[in-house]
Each structure stands twice: as C-alpha cells, then as structure tokens.
C-alpha cells in the first residue's frame, strides 16, 4: 500500500465520484486475467487494485466524519496489523 497514491485517489473520489474508481478496479481486475502477463506486471496491477480499494475505505471513513489524517492512519494500522499476523 502506498499512502501517497491512496491520498491522491481519495482526493479524486471527493472531487468526482467513487464509481469511477470502482470501474477502474473492475478494468484492472479484467486485465489481470490476461494469460501472457509477466509476474511483475501482475504485481503492479495487484498493487494498484489494493491502493484503489484502500482509497475507497479511507473515503468511507472520512464521509462518516473522521478527519482525513486520522482515517489514513487508522487504515494503515489495520493494513500493517493484518500483515503482521
């Protein structure tokens, strides 16, 4: 997960709409099914999909009233906590 990417996508969601990001995720997931993709390319697609989902989660917290910085920190703690287990 890359915090700068999540922050930038979160700005995009705030300015436009979450639906654009969801459609982008669907497109990237479809592209990941291409059999000729190299492992490195699949890794990049997976990382981008993860960041987009992360931005959606952070945006939901902000809409619920949590300050952006707090929402980002809470999300990153959840992510690192799940990796450590």
pLDDT number for residue 28 = 97
Average pLDDT along the chain: 93
pLDDT score of 33: 95
Across the range 46-71, mean pLDDT stands at 96
Residues 6+ apart with CB under 8 A from 53: 25
pTM of the model: 0.89
**What is the average per-residue pLDDT within 7-33?**
96
Q: Which residues of 36-58 are buried (b: 16+ CB within 10 A; e: fewer)?
A: eeeeeeeeebeebbbbbbbbbbb
Tell me the pLDDT tens digit for each residue of 60-82: 999 999 999 999 999 989 888 76
Domain residue spans of the chain: 3-84
* Structure token digits, residue 44: 């990049």
């Amino acid at each position: 997960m890359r915090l700068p990417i999540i922050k930038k996508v979160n700005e995009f969601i705030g300015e436009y709409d979450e639906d654009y990001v969801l459609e982008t995720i669907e497109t990237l997931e479809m592209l990941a099914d291409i059999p000729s993709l190299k492992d490195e390319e699949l890794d990049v697609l997976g990382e981008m999909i993860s960041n987009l989902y992360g931005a959606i989660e952070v945006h939901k917290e902000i809409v619920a009233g949590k300050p952006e910085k707090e929402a980002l920190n809470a999300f990153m703690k959840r992510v690192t906590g799940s990796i450590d287990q």
